[in-house]
Amino acid sequence: MRRMRTGLALLGATLCALAGAALPTTASATADADPTPAPKRLFTIKDERIKESSGLAKSVKHPGVYWTVNDSGDTGRVFAVDTTGEVKAVVRFGAKVNDVEALGIDRDGTLYIADIGDNEENREQIEIYTIPEPETLEDESNVKYRRYDFTYPDGAHDAETLLIEPGTSQLYIVTKAVKGTGTIYAAPPAPSREGTNDLTKLAAAPAGVITDGTFLPDGQRVVLRTYADVTTVAWGDTPNAVARGAAPLGQGETVALGPADNTVLVGSEGANSAVYQVQVPAKAASTPPKAGATPKPATAPENNSSDAGKSNNFRWIIVGAGLFALIITIVTFPPGRRERQDRQAENARLTGQAPPTAHRRQHS
């Protein structure tokens, strides 16, 4: 009996070991299910001159400073705002703008003011203005600017997103579609200031009403902003959305690189608009991706083979535990009668008597 109980104990220990090997430990389970950090309110733009912040760009020359512009109805100017929300400088470039909807900056510190809004979709061309980022944060007027004109290959579009590739300063425009999806258009590698530059259709944009976007420093990913969320896009010949993450509600209009790696800032229109720091959405993967695999949309958790394997292991553990409990029940309950019958059988063997009838029937 003691040997049987020892064997059962070993069986139980084996099942527990299998359970420990198949199920994630507390640390790994926490890592797999680690929630994305909550959005952090970084600052609020309280300046009365900024009532419709429609573009946001992280300064290259001034740490802790962001540039922003107003939506349609304003003059040609940009505002330098620090992380307390205070306006540090206003730079006027004097152009007669129509509907400025985006703002970008390249690695050399050139600011790109994108006059690309077209709610009625009737503009024959759109304009992008460039000015150098000032060396000092002081109010300036009549700063020299350059103007570049662009046309779409398939008619007018409304747009609010300008992308600047970090390594080459290649420009892309993403159109805004209330129904269906927008489109990503590429500008010529070296736009001309003479005449009009033709945009080229590159690819369909991810789902959602896209209101702004930015390349991440690696040049391999783009973060696009909608009214409700932010989407990480793997860049390439065919850009693919790979992860989505919620953003603070409001009329989400802006996104820019954040102060920390893999973070972005998102903002909204309106007076006293808050700017939040959020984590760049990343696709959670339990196994390393295969080399050369094309990123696929990941708007919802996937039921991959690894998860299925974990589920099967867990079911086998449950079955094993059930069998273990059944064996324990059969062997040990009721323990008094079973042990008494064993003693009677052993006594009968030693004295040469016939074993008890009940015990003989049980072992026949």
Q: What is the pLDDT of residues 100-123, one digit of tens each?
A: 999 999 999 999 999 999 999 999
Last residue of a domain, one of 280, 297, 331: 280
Pick the more confident residue, 124 or 237: 124
For residue 118, is it within any domain?
yes
89 and 208 part of one domain = yes
181 and 63 part of one domain = yes
257 and 205 part of one domain = yes
For residue 200, is it within any domain?
yes
13 and 116 part of one domain = no
For residue 165, is it within any domain?
yes
Report pLDDT digits (tens) over 307-333: 444 444 444 444 444 444 444 444 343
Q: Which domain holds residue 315?
A: 2-28+306-363
Is pLDDT at 80 greater than 80 in this prediction?
yes
Read off the pTM. Answer: 0.70
9 and 135 part of one domain = no
For residue 344, is it within any domain?
yes
Last residue of a domain, one of 245, 280, 315: 280
User: pLDDT averaged over the chain?
Assistant: 78
312 and 334 part of one domain = yes
Last residue of a domain, one of 246, 280, 314: 280
Angle between helices 2-22 and 305-332 (to 10 degrees): 160
For residue 223, is it within any domain?
yes
Q: How many domains does the chain have?
A: 2
Pick the more confident residue, 30 or 357: 357
The residues, ordered by sequence, that sit 6+ positions from 88 with a Cβ below 8 Å of its Cβ are 62, 65, 80, 81, 82, 137
Band (269; pLDDT cuts 50, 70, 90): confident
77 and 214 part of one domain = yes
Of 289, 211, 290, 292, nearest to 256 (Cα)?
A: 211
144 and 275 part of one domain = yes
High-pLDDT (> 70) share of the chain, %: 68
For residue 197, is it within any domain?
yes
Mean pLDDT of 40-47: 94
Of 39, 41, 81, nearest to 59 (Cα)?
A: 81
Report pLDDT digits (tens) over 205-247: 999 999 999 999 999 999 999 988 999 999 988 899 999 998 8
Is pLDDT at 8 greater than 50 in this prediction?
no
For residue 228, is it within any domain?
yes
47 and 68 part of one domain = yes
276 and 331 part of one domain = no
252 and 345 part of one domain = no
Is pLDDT at 266 greater than 70 in this prediction?
yes
CATH number at residue 114: 2.120.10.30
According to the model, what pLDDT value does residue 115 have? 98
For residue 75, is it within any domain?
yes
95 and 239 part of one domain = yes
According to the model, what pLDDT value does residue 150 have? 98
Instruction: Give dist(CA 243, CA 229) in Å, integer.
Output: 11
Pick the more confident residue, 292 or 160: 160
Q: What are phi and psi of 12, to 5 degrees?
A: -65, -40
Contact (Cβ atoms closer than 8 angstroms) between residue 240 and residue 297: yes
